[in-house]
Structure 1
Amino acid sequence: MGKIPFMIDLTNKNIVIVGGGKVAERRLLLLKDQCASITVISETITEEIENYIDNTSIYWYKRPFRDEDIIDTDFVIIATNDKKVNEHVINVTPKHVLLNAAHNANEGNIEFMKTVKRGLLQVGIHTGGASPTLAKKLYHDIEASFPSDYSDYVDFLYEVRQLIKLSPLENMEKHALLKEMVDCPIYDKEEQALFILQLKKKIEHPRSTK
């Protein structure tokens, strides 16, 4: 069956990464600030991974994988180039556990999409294995469409939405304001601050601003 994209909260999850090479490194860097703990199991690790081992939530077992390593684990990532090890980890991982198999995406139930991130905004790209080259091209196209400071605009939208949601304004007026923020974007920080100020006044004194 096919897979669908979704966002997942890993805040209180424990993750095991089997492998210590570049693929494991990329997974670690992506997840290190998003979960309760990460355990890396590998006889060798990259220098970048080693830099994070002193972190209280990242551990390194300098040895081969053991079946008991995934007891009470929420998410297993296979990132080795050893076919036998990869197959063994797949076989012993419980069906209810999230599993990412870097060597063959079809062997796991979770895949990592190529993602463009601008603050709260995340755009994921996945071609279902049809063309990694296309995924790479789309990544660069989307990245070019959203400059690095676009995150400031997204943060502004978030603040506006929270204010509007809590306001006594009529639903139609709320929807109109939210639509206006997207149809007529405000990128300048001073203009954003002014809009927030005016919005607060509108919310506090809805009748006087009509």
Structure 2
Amino acid sequence: MSALPFMVNVEKMSIVVVGGGSVALKRTKALVLAGGFVHVIAPTILPEFFLLKCKGLISVEKRAVGFNECFTSELVFLCSNNKALHDQIYKQKAPRQHVYLSNKAQKGDFYVPAKIEKGLLTVSVSTAGASPSYTKRLKNQIDEMLPEYAAEELIFLQQARRRILHIPVNKLKKLALLKELASPTILQKENRQEWFEKRCEELERE
């Protein structure tokens, strides 16, 4: 399956997770961490789900999901151990609904890549379900390659960008300064902030 990677804001989306085991818990925790509110449905549910429920982060419905059910949520994560149930629910999904299949992720509407986060930096790694072990190894290798101070540098760049965009000068001059700021030479300056303030003052006088 050819896929287009993109970031999704799940804060205002309705989400159902079918399954109460370790895979469902992994997906639920990731969704909650991203700001989503999840409704979990399963006849048997791990205790960790109820801890999340007690914190008001998810809702839980302890029952079996029927083969004739059709959910109305925007996202459905099918994470049970019943492959036949997954296939049937996927076939009868609601219009404009996106469904994740844990047993064959590349056959669903989307799949969830491995993720590395360092502050504002997010790097995703996927092998389209070909080999989770290979994906994990590659993720660890990439993690070791990322700059040690990436999180701190990106906070500086974010704040700098906001200020530069409000300076009433030619757009090309703004872009030139933004590009200069992102260079290792500037980011690693000891007096980086002082240098930046001076450059902004120079732009404002133009």
Q: TM-score, normalised by structure 2?
A: 0.86
CA distance in 2, matches of 1:132, 1:7: 21
**Deviation by residue 1:36-82 (Cα, 9 ceiling, x = unmatched):** 521000122223222101233410001111455713x1100010112
Aligned partner of residue 198 in structure 1, secondary structure: helix
Aligned to 1:80: 80
Q: 1:95 to 1:177 in 2, by over 3 A?
A: same
Percent identical: 26
Q: Is residue 186 of structure 1 aligned with residue 193 of structure 2?
A: no
Instruction: Report if the CA contact (8 A) 2:38-2:58 is conserved.
Output: yes
**Deviation by residue 1:111-166 (Cα, 9 ceiling, x = unmatched):** 10111111221111112234433322221112112367521211111111111122
Q: Is residue 70 of structure 1 aligned with residue 96 of structure 2?
A: no
Residues 34-113 of structure 1: pairs in structure 2 closer than 5 A: 34-35=34-35, 37-66=37-66, 70-71=71-72, 73-113=73-113
Residues 110-129 of structure 1: pairs in structure 2 closer than 5 A: 110-129=110-129
Q: Which blocks of at least 5 consecutive residues in structure 1 are unaligned? A: none
Q: Which blocks of at least 5 consecutive residues in structure 2 are unaligned? A: none
Aligned to 2:14: 14
Q: 1:83 to 1:194 in 2, by over 3 A?
A: same
> 4+ residue runs of structure 1 moved beyond 6 angstroms?
none
CA distance in 2, matches of 1:51, 1:149: 34
Aligned residues: 204
Q: TM-score, normalised by structure 1?
A: 0.84
CA distance in 2, matches of 1:96, 1:27: 21
Aligned to 2:151: 151
Amino acid at match of 1:124: S
CA distance in 2, matches of 1:80, 1:103: 9
